[in-house]
């Protein structure tokens, strides 16, 4: 919000980024002003200079940090070193897709959805090649895209009673998380059943009949659960929900 001549108006901000170097520079300017080393005119000039600066990290460095972040999830939760390269590859592909889609598309949250979808697909492929735990690989694929800073800032603003900015940040973070979850779900629905049957077939081929039987039992239990859920939903609709709707229509 900006005030000039007694009037106030709001300015729309389409995109937000977080630059810790900008924060450090502005904090140093405030310290210099408090200590009396700079005047307001100098502060204004330096703020304009900081605003024009665009600190950028080289792409290969960002990819290295993305790979480290995705791989560290495997060590924290599963301690399965075989899943580390699979999660790294999935995380790197998801991040590259996010960089491309965020520049090519102007639709909100579509870049997060597409990058999560591609990262999940690469994670499934790497799981079939060298992976052990599919869930952890999926987690490592999307962990670089999780809006951690936005969630932290939203919680801090809410605790500081800045409810408007905190609520806006929380809603944005929830939408981003929902887009990431939707991308992973769209990959998991068609691919995970195929991977399950692939594991059962591999168990039969390698002679591990026990593992194949366990997989088939899991599929049978899942199908039975879905069938029971559909039957219960149908019974509830016929005997409860339809009557309520009928009475409401009267």
Domain count for the chain: 3
Say how many Å lie between the first and final Cα of the chain, rounded: 51
Residue 109's pLDDT band (cuts 50, 70, 90)? confident
Does residue 80 sit in the same domain as residue 157? yes
Q: Do 141 and 96 touch, CB atoms closer than 8 A? A: no
Residue 230's pLDDT band (cuts 50, 70, 90)? low
Average pLDDT of the chain, as a whole number: 76
Lowest mean per-residue pLDDT among 20-24, 52-56, 143-147: 52-56
- Domain that includes residue 141, residue range: 59-192
Q: Is residue 200 part of a domain?
A: no
Residue 1 has pLDDT above 50, yes or no: no
Residue 11 DSSP symbol: -
Sign of CA dihedral 9, 12, 18, 20: negative
Does residue 91 sit in the same domain as residue 173? yes
Interval 47-104: pLDDT, tens = 888 877 766 778 888 888 888 988 888 888 766 788 888 889 999 999 999 988 888 8
Q: Is residue 25 part of a domain?
A: yes
Boundary-marking domain end, from 52, 70, 93: 52
Residue 2's pLDDT band (cuts 50, 70, 90)? very low
Question: What are the angstrom distances between the C-alpha of 50 and each of 1, 32, 66, 77, 245?
Answer: 20, 15, 27, 40, 61
Q: Is residue 203 part of a domain?
A: no
Q: Is residue 151 part of a domain?
A: yes
């Amino acid at each position: 919000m900006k005030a000039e001549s007694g009037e106030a108006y709001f300015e729309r901000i389409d995109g937000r980024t977080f630059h810790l170097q900008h924060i450090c520079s502005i904090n140093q300017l405030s310290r210099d002003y408090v200590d009396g080393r700079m005047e307001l005119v100098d502060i204004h000039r330096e703020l304009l200079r900081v605003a024009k600066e665009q600190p950028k990290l080289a792409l290969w460095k960002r990819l290295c940090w993305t790979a480290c972040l995705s791989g560290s999830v495997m060590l924290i939760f599963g301690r399965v070193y075989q899943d580390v390269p699979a999660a790294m590859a999935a995380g790197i592909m998801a991040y590259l897709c996010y960089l491309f889609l965020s520049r090519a598309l102007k639709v909100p949250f579509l870049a997060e959805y597409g990058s999560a979808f591609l990262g999940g697909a690469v994670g499934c492929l790497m799981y079939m090649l060298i992976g052990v735990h599919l869930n952890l690989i999926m987690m490592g694929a999307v962990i670089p895209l999780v809006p951690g800073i936005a969630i932290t800032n939203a919680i801090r603003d809410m605790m500081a009673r800045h409810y408007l900015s905190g609520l806006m940040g929380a809603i944005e973070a929830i939408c981003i998380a929902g887009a990431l979850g939707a991308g992973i779900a769209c990959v998991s629905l068609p691919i995970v059943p195929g991977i399950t049957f692939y594991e059962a077939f591999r168990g039969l081929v390698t002679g591990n009949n026990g593992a194949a039987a366990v997989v088939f039992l899991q599929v049978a239990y899942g199908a039975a659960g879905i069938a029971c859920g559909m039957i219960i939903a149908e019974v509830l609709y016929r005997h409860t929900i339809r009557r309520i709707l009928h009475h409401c229509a009267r």
